Structure formats: C-alpha cells, structure tokens
Structure 1
C-alpha cells in the first residue's frame, strides 16, 4: 500500500497472490550493502560506490549531514548523470519503488532526481522490507499445503521439478530451494559461482511464497542446510510435517545420472583435474561418516579414473559405493525419523502426472 505523502509501505513490494511484483524496484544501496542481502527482482543501481559511501560516512561523523551531503554532490558530479539515466530507464516503464538501507536520505534523493510521479521511496528501506518478509513468512508458508518431493540420491528430483515448473497458470507451484540457494544440497552439491547471502536466500523464499496465487506448493526434500544456507524454521517445520511424493527409479539409472551431473558435465565445463579435485575434497568432507576404508576406496577409484574420465564404467563402483553405503542409508534414517505419510509415488512420468492431478484437485476444492 501507499503511505504518507506518496511513500510506499514495505508490503507493497510483494503482495500476496499477485504472481509478479507490481512494482519495479531500484536498490540504491552501495555494493557492499547489496552483498549482505538483496531484494528479489531489484535493480542494483547504487547512488554511491563503496569508497564514495565510506568518504561520505566519515564526513557525516566528523561534520554532520550538511557537510556530508555537500561532499556527496562533489564526488559524484562526474558520474551522477549516468546513474540518474539508469534509474529513469527503469522508472519510465511503470510504478517504481526506490530502496536504500533505512528509507532515508539516499532513497529520497534518488526519487527527487528521477523526478517521475510513479517513482516513490519505501518507508524504512531495505531493513523494513526484510523485517516484513521475515515476519510474514510463517503465514505465507501456512496459506497453502506443501507436497514434499523426495527420493534416493540421483533419482532425478531436480529434473522432475523442472518438468513441473512449466509456467502454467494452473497446477503446482514449484519452490526450487536448490536453485535459490545455488547449491545441490550435499557435500558434492557446489555449483559454479557463490551462494547468495543468507538474507537474500530468505527473501527469495518469502517473496515466492507470498506472490504465488493459492496453489499446491511442491518443494524438494532438504535438510536444514542447503550448502551453507539455512532453511527458515517455519518452512523446515512445515516440510517435516507435509506428505511426500516419492520418486522411484533403478540403481543403474541413479548411477548414470550422478555420473552425468557430477562427473562428465563438470569436467567438460571446468576440466578433468579440477573436477577430480572437487570430488576428492567433497569425499574427504565425508570421511568421518564414511570411515577411512571407504573414503580411501573412493579416492583411489578417482585416481584410477582420471585417464578414462569420460567412461561411465570407470566411475561405476565408487558412485555405487557412495549411494548404497552412505546416501541411501542416510535417506532411510531420515525417512524413518520423520515418519511422514506418502501421498504419491512412482517413476518420473507417473509422478509428474499424479502431482499435476493432485494440484488441480486442490484448486477445484478451493474455488
């Protein structure tokens, strides 16, 4: 909603059931601030660089706001026209929210410089939006039922989520936590690039759950951690109490999928040596749970496989060992500990059809 004198309230950015954010968002915080936490869909267009912000901050502490403002105008004189042009390029396309750290001077200055009636600052800035998303996440989780997609490692859960996430207006809503976390969720799950900051990860989850219209939410089964990111407690608790959709496939299919995703594709992208090193380091991280003998068997197999890296047979035994002796046992322990009911099960095609039917039945029951 709109606040006093055209100021936007934090709840205007990601309204419940809107499907898409109704406002463009310009975030004028400095790069170091953005790295600590970003807002979904926001255009990162800083008013000040990190160094400029540092200088202005020192001046503010020493001489007060007026002196700091004067210094800001001085040190941005050459670059400010280009920054204003970038803001206007965004704001000319429709209603726009402008965000700084606390909704103070920087967002007010930016909106004045944009000089368009539909460009408005957000009350309380980034901190207020974060607080709003965090406080409303439990309600966003509770507004519709969850269906947790589970299955043994290598069963193809990510591919099934991609199949279900087809952009259709009806059917299930897919919350892909591994995509949002930039991590595949195990010791071997690192992907190219860095994981987002924890606040960024939380914002992505909260905004997605607020924006989607009332649909069945399908989410892949995860532990508390997805790489170094942590699931919000409200979501994790809901997942632990939700029914399961169990994806079933053969061991050979799983081994082939692990080879493709963790051996062949990374080697084509990063090279054999880098991929072998990454796999060895991931194996060593599991040493305490695998035990020394099995850890040594995997590491030795990786060494032998280096000269025939792209031959699936060269990797079959160590992949099977990890699946059967570690990941499958871990999966069965977790299934038994939570004792969640199984709502659906089957292979990928069967399960995709069943989930879509389940989602449509839910929609009909709520209309």
Structure 2
C-alpha cells in the first residue's frame, strides 16, 4: 500500500490509533524520541556516521547508495521484526527530518502490505513543537512547603478533585533532593524530559490554572526550561505548613523502607554542606535503624535550603497555609479556598 504523509496536526489523532516506529539510530533514540515510539534503526550509530560523512564530502547520491549498501542485507531482518511486533500492519513512521531513513522503511514495509503514515518533517517537527510549548506562558499556582509536608500527595489529590497539575518530579523520575533518585527509574535526558513535559502540557487547558510543586531549576540531572522556571518564581505560591513530627513521620514512611547503603550514599553526597559530625551522626542513625534521628538531622539542612529558595519568589504572592493535623480532603478544600485569594471565583485571572 502507498504511504500517506501526515502533518503534525494529523499525527496527534493518529498516534492514539496506531503504533510508532522511530527509524533513527539507537543513539539518537536514546537521546530523545516521541514517547511511545519503538526504535527500529535503518542505520545504526556507526553506519549513520559513515553515511553522514559521505553526504558532506560527496553529496546525497553517493550517501544514498551507501545507505542502501549498508542496510540492504538487513532488509529481511527488519521486515521479520516489524511483522512480529506489528501484525496489524498499520504504522506511523518518522526519522530525523522525514527524509531517507523513514522513506526507506516506508517503502520496505509497503512491499509487505503495511499501511504507513509518515510524519512530514520527522522528529525535528515534533521536537520544535515540544521545545516551544514548554517555554510558553502558563497560568501557574506553585505548591510550596518544607521537605516532608506532602506536596506530591497533595498535588495528586488536587488532580483527583479535578484540578490541572503537572508532576515535574514524576516526569523527571526524581524527588528533588540528594535522596531523590533512590528507588526511581533512570532519569530521562533533558531533551526527553521536555518532550514528556510538553506531552502533559498539551492535554491541559492553557486558560485555566495549573498547579506545580515548588522546585529548584534542577531536578536531579534534568533542568527546567529557564522560561518556565521564571514563571514559577513569579507565580502565586501557597506555602504549606506542617508540624515537625508529621514531616518526619511522612519522610520515614517513604524512605525507611529503602536500602540503607543507598541512604548512606545520599548522606555522603551532602557531607560538605552537613559537616563531618552531622554526617557521621546521620550515618550511624541509618545503620541503627533510627530513622527519626537521621531524618531530623537532614531537615536542619533542607529547611535552611528551602528558606533560601523561598526568597527567590516574587514578594507579595505567597500565602502560608497551616495544614497541621488536617486530613487530606479538608486540606484540598483549604488549598482551593487559598487559590481563590489569587484568582477569585475564576481560575483564569483574565476572565
């Protein structure tokens, strides 16, 4: 069957119906890709370098011939793999710019009866869209609070109540501290994080409020776009207050079950900031299973860091909200009441 070239607008609806193949090299795919795509490289990493070099030195004709020379012997393997993975024979294909690699794969699959939709402009078109989307203006409300106030849990409850949220830590696979990577999957690259971020944003109503958790510019190794981070600093912030005991209990609930050796490594990463004595005390408490002690020790540092971070936010746009001893449902009601102090009855201040 003949292929159909599709625009990015057409792609959004078709992606929910058909699987996707990324025809780029395994290295390009690992760096970033359209979420949900399966990588079936037409040229692998080393072959891509050979063809790219030939293109620069001798032009597209020589590069195309070389590409076929390299990939031709694998045509049968590519067909067998694709037929096994996608027996329905309907597929979306893209490469970097919608050029030679996706064209070759499209032609090859069409020969065995695939219905092929090839993304015009390739991954570059998609990436341009996601890059711009995460740098647009958004109507944010920032949920702040010291470590252990349960911000992520409150964010999830807000979503359950019908509010729009973006879980930055969930997208980054990191909880935003020295301990934040423990028990988490590998972090995405910065570019892939932005793709995931944009995928969530595009599903939201840009005219309505979006809740985000207060974060530093870096979440582990991922980095927030400067434009979005600046919006967070200037947005209204609701600063959650909880008792020290509640905070310690919540942190213990999440971290006491984690391997002691990984907790110790996280403490050692903070040694320069904690000092030798507090570092030793914290490690000893972890070894002994005295979680309240090492957590309270860590909170001395993290509370100071939070106060420093809070000073970066715009003056006059912070509300302190004491949720000490309050159940989750009542906490959400109080958060929504606090939201109206910024936005009135409407979530969009321009209404």
Q: Same fold (TM over 0.5)?
A: yes
Structure 2 partner of 1:272: none
Residue 132 and residue 112 in structure 1: after superposition, are their counterparts in 2 closer, same or farther (change >3 A)? same
Q: How does 1:99-178 map to 2 (within 5 A)?
A: 99-115=94-110, 119-139=116-136, 142=137, 144-166=138-160, 171-178=162-169
Measured after TM superposition, the shift of residue 49 of structure 1 is 7.2
Residue 246 and residue 118 in structure 1: after superposition, are their counterparts in 2 closer, same or farther (change >3 A)? farther
C-alpha separation between the residues in 2 aligned to 1:127 and 1:59? 19
> Is the 2:42–2:105 Cα contact (8 Å) retained in structure 1?
no
Matched, 1:205 2:197: yes
C-alpha separation between the residues in 2 aligned to 1:60 and 1:225? 34
Measured after TM superposition, the shift of residue 255 of structure 1 is 0.7
Structure 1 partner of 2:274: 290
Matched residues, number: 329
Structure 1 partner of 2:57: none
Structure 1 partner of 2:81: 82
Residue 361 and residue 21 in structure 1: after superposition, are their counterparts in 2 closer, same or farther (change >3 A)? farther
Measured after TM superposition, the shift of residue 246 of structure 1 is 2.4
Measured after TM superposition, the shift of residue 150 of structure 1 is 0.9
C-alpha separation between the residues in 1 aligned to 2:123 and 2:31? 11
C-alpha separation between the residues in 1 aligned to 2:219 and 2:154? 19
SS at match of 2:120: coil
Residue 24 and residue 341 in structure 1: after superposition, are their counterparts in 2 closer, same or farther (change >3 A)? farther
Measured after TM superposition, the shift of residue 349 of structure 1 is 3.2
TM-score by length of 1: 0.78
Measured after TM superposition, the shift of residue 43 of structure 1 is 2.2
C-alpha separation between the residues in 2 aligned to 1:129 and 1:121? 13
Measured after TM superposition, the shift of residue 301 of structure 1 is 2.0
Q: Which has the higher helix share?
A: 1
Structure 1 partner of 2:6: 8
Please, which runs of 5 or more residues in structure 2 have no aligned partner?
Answer: 55-61
CA RMSD for the aligned pairs?
3.2
Residue 354 and residue 24 in structure 1: after superposition, are their counterparts in 2 closer, same or farther (change >3 A)? farther
Measured after TM superposition, the shift of residue 200 of structure 1 is 0.4
Instruction: Give per-residue Cα distances to partners, 1:53-86, cap 9 Å, x unaligned.
Output: 5347547756632242144132231342331453
Structure 1 partner of 2:64: 65
Measured after TM superposition, the shift of residue 22 of structure 1 is 8.1
Structure 2 partner of 1:349: 329
Instruction: Give per-residue Cα distances to partners, 1:70-109, cap 9 Å, x unaligned.
Output: 44132231342331453464x64xxx64211221122223
TM-score by length of 2: 0.81
Structure 1 partner of 2:58: none
State which of 31, 39, 60 in structure 1 corresponds to 2:34.
39
Measured after TM superposition, the shift of residue 340 of structure 1 is 5.7
Residue 56 and residue 293 in structure 1: after superposition, are their counterparts in 2 closer, same or farther (change >3 A)? closer
Q: Higher mean Cα deviation, 253-262 or 339-348?
A: 339-348
> Is the 1:247–1:351 Cα contact (8 Å) retained in structure 2?
no
Please, which runs of 5 or more residues in structure 1 have no aligned partner?
Answer: 267-274
> Is the 2:241–2:320 Cα contact (8 Å) retained in structure 1?
no
Structure 1 partner of 2:292: 316
> Is the 1:111–1:119 Cα contact (8 Å) retained in structure 2?
yes
> Is the 2:141–2:211 Cα contact (8 Å) retained in structure 1?
yes
Measured after TM superposition, the shift of residue 206 of structure 1 is 2.0
Residue 362 and residue 182 in structure 1: after superposition, are their counterparts in 2 closer, same or farther (change >3 A)? same
C-alpha separation between the residues in 2 aligned to 1:301 and 1:148? 34
Structure 1 partner of 2:311: 336
Measured after TM superposition, the shift of residue 211 of structure 1 is 2.8
Instruction: Give per-residue Cα distances to partners, 1:37-61, cap 9 Å, x unaligned.
Output: 1223x321414474xx534754775
